[in-house]
Structure 1
């Protein structure tokens, strides 16, 4: 696979493992607004570079990393409860399906590729957004923050998804939009495709085997695609 091109393909895979936020759903504007609102409520400055460092990570770990800034009497559970409450405010940016995601998922399912989500979000969050965006039925399993001890960039979530699907990590491809997620996929031993913002960021493309901005153009192929390609190749050779 190329980290830049779209002519070559990563070859046949048995499973495709997707991050959720920023990869399948466009939740980044909402997420950033939410974090800004949380920190601003405590008089804490929160710049873009700081927000960039939150991408792909579990909220629990982000909060614990910055907990001292909330005052010595604050607890991680209290801050997380506040974050959850803020998420219910009606004026936050909406969450939408990433363009091309539905077409890619349908193509992979028709090709016999097993599908999973591996997210740093919680179970309720993942189930709610997958259902709202109409793609919940595509996935055999969903691995959330509650299913692992160590979040991304640790590979635990992706390794668990592979075990649940009954595939080796080398037979899987990971779709990610963050440094933490791409590192997790690589450490698990899967091939990685940088998507969305990651596909436009050279440093993140270097963590991936391939980069593609539009999910509808993703090069992944499965068993059914391979059979079709062989038939087409045979027809072309005969002609």
Structure 2
């Protein structure tokens, strides 16, 4: 539970990243990238693979293309990644601790929520339904709907337009450096999820490992 001594936050809307924020998908994601690199005989260090967090797979492939040599095209790598993602032995993403509790509190406070993910629409809707939280979201912004992925703020700005709110009146929940930068660049305040570096944490309002520990959020202009 949030500490009663923590001052409540106010927001007109709450925007959520998906991977690493609402669901713990990083073990699956990093293993998927590791397998892609290994399939082409390319070394992928844990630090490099972790740096892909929060970003669109197409952007990562374009950035890393030279590592794969002159043979494979971006389309080849995207198709290979999709094939690998169908493997049944990959870790299954689970809801992050406290996610259901926080989403319920936001709903009860009358605060609309949006999902802003670097994943595609099919990916996002599949996992939201599988985890039983799809009804909490007023709108989804996915990788297919923006021309520039995180750390660009385009996705968060689009979500705000759809909800009819100004970014400065929203709270964003993010776990990655790219996502936190996207939130800040949009003008929104950010709550970091997980264990960010001290430098990254300093750019946020708060850090929570369990989403249920998020400070109380009241709807701006209302009584909560």
TM above 0.5, one fold?
Answer: yes
TM-score (norm 1): 0.89
Cα offset for 1:78?
A: 1.2
Rounded Cα–Cα distance in structure 1 between residues aligned with 2:92 and 2:221: 35
Cα offset for 1:68?
A: 1.6
Give the aligned partner of residue 6 of structure 2: 8
| 1:66-215 map, 5 Å | 66-198=64-196, 201-215=197-211
Rounded Cα–Cα distance in structure 2 between residues aligned with 1:126 and 1:9: 33
Cα offset for 1:223?
A: 3.1
Cα offset for 1:203?
A: 2.2
Give the aligned partner of residue 45 of structure 2: 47
Cα offset for 1:6?
A: 8.6
Give the aligned partner of residue 223 of structure 2: 227
Of residues 214-223 and 162-171 in structure 1, the stretch that sits farther from structure 2 once superposed is 214-223
Distance 1:10 1:194, change over 3 A: farther
The 3-state SS of whatever aligns with 1:12 is strand
Per-residue displacement from partner, 1:163-192 (whole Å, max 9, x unpaired)? 000000011000000000000000000010
Cα offset for 1:225?
A: 11
Unaligned residue ranges in structure 2 (runs of 5+): none
Q: How many residues align?
A: 222
Rounded Cα–Cα distance in structure 1 between residues aligned with 2:180 and 2:5: 22
The 3-state SS of whatever aligns with 1:16 is strand
Unaligned residue ranges in structure 1 (runs of 5+): 229-239
TM-score (norm 2): 0.94
Cα offset for 1:66?
A: 0.9
Higher helix share: 1
Per-residue displacement from partner, 1:15-73 (whole Å, max 9, x unpaired)? 00000000000100000110000001111111111012101111001001111222213
Given that residues 8 and 218 in structure 2 are in contact (C-alpha distance below 8 angstroms), is that contact kept between their aligned partners in structure 1?
A: no
Given that residues 111 and 224 in structure 1 are in contact (C-alpha distance below 8 angstroms), is that contact kept between their aligned partners in structure 2?
A: no
Rounded Cα–Cα distance in structure 1 between residues aligned with 2:5 and 2:115: 27
Distance 1:224 1:193, change over 3 A: closer
Rounded Cα–Cα distance in structure 1 between residues aligned with 2:211 and 2:143: 24
Distance 1:24 1:225, change over 3 A: farther
The 3-state SS of whatever aligns with 1:192 is strand
Given that residues 11 and 220 in structure 2 are in contact (C-alpha distance below 8 angstroms), is that contact kept between their aligned partners in structure 1?
A: no
Given that residues 155 and 184 in structure 1 are in contact (C-alpha distance below 8 angstroms), is that contact kept between their aligned partners in structure 2?
A: yes
Rounded Cα–Cα distance in structure 2 between residues aligned with 1:173 and 1:103: 17
